[in-house]
């Protein structure tokens, strides 16, 4: 029986499925692995099930000369915390869990859009502080989303799921920026330049993968291109946004608001960002539903089962 190291606690059904096939060690902590823990896992286990924050960098992977580990079965669709090239050089397969996260992440994007546009977070804080003095015709006027234009940065599975909700659910016009045109079941206009997209929409949603190619894609220039009444939403990766530039834009009211589920230096959220009323801040809730996390885990189980049986890996990324 092969050995498996699981870096965080997972839903019970997932752990049971893993234990039925592997000699499984589940780490009790919910914090990212330390460098020493990563090196020990690479040297001591046949397989590792890591997740966000477990930084399997080129340096970590190179530090173990002859790793026992032959697969990093990532729990999550994003894998920018794993150096894919270095893993390939070490003859370690990397898999992820696409598909399982799509709808849940799109739902969180819609939550953030509505909360930011309709000032829901600000309103809840007002009520909880005991400062609400009753309804009046000009109280906390926000942006009505129905019929507006949404812009999607990145039109992969999640971007399309967000766009579909906006188009069919809210009657919104859809524009997007991506490396290639997409065959879609609804009308959408592709713009080649992200800044042109930012200037043409009422709500801009970042739905691109993380990594060097997209780091600080949303910078001061792109934010300056947005309309003054525009709202920015990020459900992708924190590093996609130049957080300092976003704080400056929100402080100066150059954009109306933002909704964030991820942060550049997660879990650190700058005090300057937390102090702003025109931003909604969620603690990375994108896939935080039991059935979704269970589905993600079972997809990782399927990848590990294929590895165990010597079959092609369903979701290999290298």
Catalytic residues: 237, 266, 284
Name the token pair of 179: 């490396």
Which residues, listed in sequence order, are joined to residue 4 by a DSSP beta bridge?
A: 24, 47
Distance CA 227, CA 225 (A): 7
The total number of residues written for the chain in this structure: 318
Distance CA 42, CA 13 (A): 25
CB 100 within 8 A of CB 78: no
CA angle 160, 163, 164 (to 5 degrees): 85
Helix, strand, coil in percent for the chain, rounding step 5: 35, 15, 45
Distance CA 228, CA 202 (A): 9
Distance CA 74, CA 84 (A): 12
Distance CA 75, CA 82 (A): 12
Name the token pair of 42: 């690479």
């Amino acid at each position: 029986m092969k050995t498996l190291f699981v870096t965080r606690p997972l839903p019970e059904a997932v752990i049971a499925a893993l234990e039925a096939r592997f000699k499984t060690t589940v780490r009790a902590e919910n914090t990212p692995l330390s460098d020493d823990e990563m090196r020990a896992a690479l040297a001591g286990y046949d397989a590792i099930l890591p997740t966000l924050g477990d930084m399997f960098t080129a340096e970590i992977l190179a530090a173990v000369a002859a790793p026992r580990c032959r697969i990093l079965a990532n729990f999550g669709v994003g894998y920018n915390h794993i150096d894919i090239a270095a893993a390939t050089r070490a003859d370690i397969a990397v898999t992820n869990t696409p598909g399982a996260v799509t709808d849940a992440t799109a739902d969180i994007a819609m939550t953030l859009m509505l909360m930011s546009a309709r000032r829901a977070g600000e309103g809840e804080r007002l009520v909880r502080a005991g400062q609400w003095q009753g309804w009046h015709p000009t109280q906390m006027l926000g942006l009505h989303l129905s019929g507006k234009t949404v812009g999607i940065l990145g039109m992969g599975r999640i971007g399309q799921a967000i766009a579909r909700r906006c188009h069919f659910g809210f009657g919104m016009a859809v524009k997007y920026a991506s490396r290639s045109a997409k065959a879609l079941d609804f009308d959408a206009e592709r713009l080649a330049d992200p800044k042109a997209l930012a200037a043409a929409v009422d709500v801009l949603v970042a739905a691109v993968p993380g990594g060097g190619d997209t780091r600080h894609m949303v910078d001061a220039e792109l934010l300056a291109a947005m309309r003054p009444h525009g709202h920015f939403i990020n459900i992708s990766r924190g590093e996609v946004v130049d957080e300092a530039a976003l704080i400056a834009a929100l402080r100066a009211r150059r954009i109306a608001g933002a909704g964030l589920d991820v942060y550049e230096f997660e879990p650190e959220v700058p005090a300057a960002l937390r102090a702003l009323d025109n931003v909604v801040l969620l603690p990375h809730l994108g896939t935080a539903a039991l059935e979704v996390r269970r589905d993600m885990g079972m997809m990782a189980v399927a990848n590990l089962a294929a590895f165990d049986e010597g079959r092609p890996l369903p979701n290999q990324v290298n």
